[in-house]
Chain A
Amino acid sequence: MTGSILETVELRKQFGNLVANDGISLEIEEGEIHGIIGPNGSGKSTFFNTVTGFYDADGGDVIFDDRTITNDSPDKIARSGLGRTFQIASPFRDLTVRENLLSVYTAGLGSGLRVSEDKRHRAQDILGQLEIEHIAEHEASDISGGQQKLLELGRILMLDPKCIMLDEPTAGVNPALQNRILEHLRELNEEGRTFVIIEHDMSVISGLTDRVTVFNQGRVVMQGDFETVTSDERVREAYLGEATDPDAGLAETLDASVSTGAAGQATAEATGSNGSGGDTGTVARSSGALQTEPTAAPVTTVSGEPTDNTLVADEIITGYGNHTVIDGVSVETRPGVTCIFGPNGSGKSTLLKALIGAVPVWSGSIHYGNTDITHTTAHENLKHGIVMLPQDGGIFGKLTVKENLQLGGYQVDDRSVREARLEHVLDTFPDLEPKLGAKGHSLSGGQQMMLSFGRAMMTGADLYILDEPSSGLAPSLIDDVFGMAQSLVDQGAQVILVEQNVREALRIADYVYILAQGELQFDGPAADLLDEDELVNLYLGLE
């Protein structure tokens, strides 16, 4: 039978001024596997936490199994048959796997004092069903991350729930075990259990779910089966960023980058070559797209004064703890802008940090020109001419604008060089001049980004690594940011750019890497990325 087993009505949750869930109405049908996707910060985990009682809702209702459970306590909700797991598995580390299962508190004080035979049998059954019997007597801290995820699922099953909410059940799990987890989920689904799954790995979503709901900025964008959802323009916007002109599809954007990239010209206008696209035709025509005019982008050739150094990273493997984030990735810079795209959690920022030396590389090598920089740290790499602008700009909020810029010249001993560069920065960003005495945190978002660029320019680097410079900025400022990146190139520098606003970034991209699940999915000139469907598939890691 079908019918809704879990329903939310206009569910709201906010933290201070941040509305994390802005009136979410969602119906989960009994027996389905329902996927929830959306960019980071779209409110998926908050939704889970509010539904399962970990957060108190600020409005709206949660109805489970025909009963209103809004703001019931988490343990009560769990016992009533709505189970959940967490993004990071947290078994009782000092207990064995079996003890973890037996520790589940089912009902009444009695079950807390004495473990019934029923319960032992149930634990035994679950160990068998999930194929973790062989590790039943191991302490939970000794088993792998993937096995911990299975154990967490097993603990929930002890409560015999009708509906299970899983928060990224396969994140950080190796592919073999990942497949096993998915098989178990299908099996349990066939037994009649309903699943709601948050997942970043689109191959999991596409292969497993009956229906998908897309969240963006705390709201439901749309609902439908996977193919319908991923081909919807609003969903693409949520992931790839908004195009400046809603009528200008990706094709035009790409055409624009084809002409700039292939002809080696950065033009102040968004131009489009004619339909044939890929050739080096420089016959610019008015594309009809909204014309964007970067603040400082004189018509200069990129090849005017390129740096002869290129950054070459070969087979990089790295991560945190024993969790591999980047698994054998090779990238290199080329004159102009090298873009690295990929969904959240694909390892982009980690890759950048490995390149700059802020995260140690486990294996592989990095060279800049003839210099081996595999194991050098960020401040040493700056001596070699590589600078990084961290996500959100990384300016010193408690220091004044001037002090920020002065620190940009920390490694420059020659005072006159520092002063000349300061002048150059203030020429480039005249808005900063009246703010020199102001504290960094008093600047607007756009000014902070200018300061971040300006501070990086003070270092005199010739390779700039930009980590999502447009994130958190008002849409009107996003163009300016790409204008700044472009002007770095015009001044002879190379740029590595990681961006969520894929469509906008493609306007200035010369070469593109696409990263998903810690591995390269695509690498080639921006001109090769002609088909948006292909881009979406690559981006979501479907190919």
Chain B
Amino acid sequence: MSVSISGLLLVMADSVTALQLSPSFIRPSTFLQLLAFAILLGGIYGLVALGLTMIFGVMDVINFAHGALMVVGMYIVWWLSTAVGLNPFLTIPIAVVALFVLGIAIHRLTIAPIMDAPQENQLIVTFGVLLIIVSAIEITFSADPQSRVLNLGAVGIGGVALPGGQLIALLIAILAVVLVWAFLQRTQLGRAIRGTADDREAAQYVGINVPRIDYLTFGLGAALAGLAGAVIPFIQQIDPHLGDTYLINAFVIVVLGGLGSFPGALVGGMIIGFVHVFGQFFLPGSGNQIAIFLIFILVLLLKPEGLFGGGS
């Protein structure tokens, strides 16, 4: 579980020479760095969970392959920028588009034919897709961890040094969240997705082509996972199983925020991002993961429908 953050902290150690690890005292610059990591990780979690909750909300499908789709995004960026030599930042949109197409293909080949079958069938099929994707990546690139794509050095902002790769990843994550949010809130297509998630039957009566919305949703969900994955090689080492870590926390976030709730996914992502980063810093061992699950249990006890769940 500590893979992702130990990666982050390593990067941090690169640029911050005197890292103060004492819980009793935290320097303002360290705090700002942790804050930046928390927002970044929160944004990544938010994107992964948003895709997961969209697919669940609209299609009633629990997508176990979601973490694997993220890994595909990671390896596209890593491979295109290291082996092919493209500009790393140019590879991010390529990964997003590729994942959108891959998502639609997966839906066409595996889920669409069994949409009317009981839910557990789709769940098992997505688990199969997960195994296929991860194995394919292992066969192609081996199971060994791959190094980060590039080290952009430190960027000083107001006297605080932040690793460049993370800063850019942070901006991308924030921009993506804003864009996706605007799409869902401001466009007819976005409304149609939310409407279908709300009431699938009623959606067809206002003229929404629900099966087509399914394709769009799975494509978008995969693209969001791909985007989150595409950012990872800038901040840590990657391996074919890295998606599992994120998927588990994404499930926690989806339930925490309220099943099928889009704002819940983003806010929940932020919460878990903060708990993860600050917990990693202040708590010993895997204490941060314990903190995450404690918060999770607390929310389930006090507000079982999740932070943004229920209502109608």
Contacts and interface: CB of A to CB of B under 8 A. Distances in A.
A165 interface: no
B195 to A, nearest CB: 5
Given A406-B191, A407-B191, A441-B311, A399 B198 contact: yes
B210 interface: yes
A274 B191 CA distance: 53
A407 B213 CA distance: 14
Contacts of B311: 397-398, 439, 441
A406 B209 CA distance: 16
B312 A397 contact: yes
A459 B201 contact: no
Given A379-B210, A441-B312, A396 B205 contact: no
B191 A399 contact: yes
Nearest to A461: B207
A525 interface: no
A396 B207 contact: no
Nearest to A452: B202
B312 A410 contact: no
Nearest to A388: B205
B206 A399 contact: no
A455 B206 contact: yes
B188 A410 contact: yes
A81 interface: no
A408 interface: yes
A411 interface: yes
Contacts of B197: 398
B198 A382 contact: no
Contact of B204 (A378, A456, A459): A378
A390 interface: yes
- Interface-centre pick from B197, B201, B205 (highest chain A CB count, 10 A): B205
Contacts of A185: none
A398 to B, nearest CB: 5
B195 A396 contact: yes
B192 interface: yes
Interface in B184-236: 188, 191-192, 194-195, 197-199, 201-210
A446 to B, nearest CB: 17
A399 B205 contact: no
A315 B75 CA distance: 58
A136 B121 CA distance: 33
- Interface-centre pick from B202, B208, B210 (highest chain A CB count, 10 A): B202
A383 B207 contact: yes
Interface in A153-185: none
A150 interface: no
A408 B202 CA distance: 10
A388 B202 CA distance: 9
A422 to B, nearest CB: 13
Contacts of B209: 377, 379
Interface in A377-426: 377-379, 382-383, 387-390, 394-399, 403-404, 406-408, 410-411
A495 to B, nearest CB: 15
A33 to B, nearest CB: 38
A440 interface: yes
Interface in A429-482: 439-441, 455-456, 458-459
A358 B312 contact: no
Given A397-B198, A406-B191, A410-B192, A390 B312 contact: no
A10 to B, nearest CB: 33
A388 B205 CA distance: 6
A396 B199 contact: yes
Contacts of A404: 195
Given A379-B210, A399-B198, A439-B311, A358 B204 contact: yes
Given A398-B311, A398-B312, A387 B205 contact: yes
A358 B206 contact: no
A355 interface: no
A459 B311 CA distance: 27
Interface in A232-266: none
A387 B202 CA distance: 11
Given A403-B191, A406-B188, A407-B191, A398 B198 contact: yes
A511 B197 CA distance: 37
Contacts of A395: 199, 202
B307 to A, nearest CB: 14
Given A397-B311, A407-B192, A382 B201 contact: no
Contacts of A394: 199, 201-202, 205
Contacts of A378: 204-205, 207
A387 B195 CA distance: 17
A82 interface: no
Contacts of B203: 407
A394 B196 CA distance: 11
A486 B195 CA distance: 28
Given A390-B205, A394-B205, A410-B206, A440 B191 contact: no
A488 interface: no
A123 interface: no
A396 B205 CA distance: 12
A183 to B, nearest CB: 38
Contacts of A407: 188, 191-192, 195, 203, 206, 208
A356 interface: yes
B56 to A, nearest CB: 14
A455 to B, nearest CB: 6
Contacts of B192: 407, 410
A291 B208 CA distance: 41
Given A390-B202, A439-B311, A399 B195 contact: yes
A539 B13 CA distance: 80
A389 B197 CA distance: 18
Given A397-B311, A403-B191, A441-B311, A390 B207 contact: no
B204 A379 contact: yes
Contacts of A397: 198-199, 311-312
Interface string A344-363: 00000000000010100000
Interface in B160-201: 188, 191-192, 194-195, 197-199, 201
6 contacts: A395-B199, A399-B194, A407-B188, A410-B188, A441-B312, A459-B207
Given A358-B201, A399-B195, A403-B191, 4 more contacts: A382-B207, A406-B191, A407-B195, A458-B206
The 9 A-B pairs at the shortest CB distance, nearest first, are namely A397-B312, A394-B202, A441-B312, A382-B207, A378-B204, A411-B207, A396-B198, A388-B205, A396-B195
Interface of B: 188, 191-192, 194-195, 197-199, 201-210, 311-312
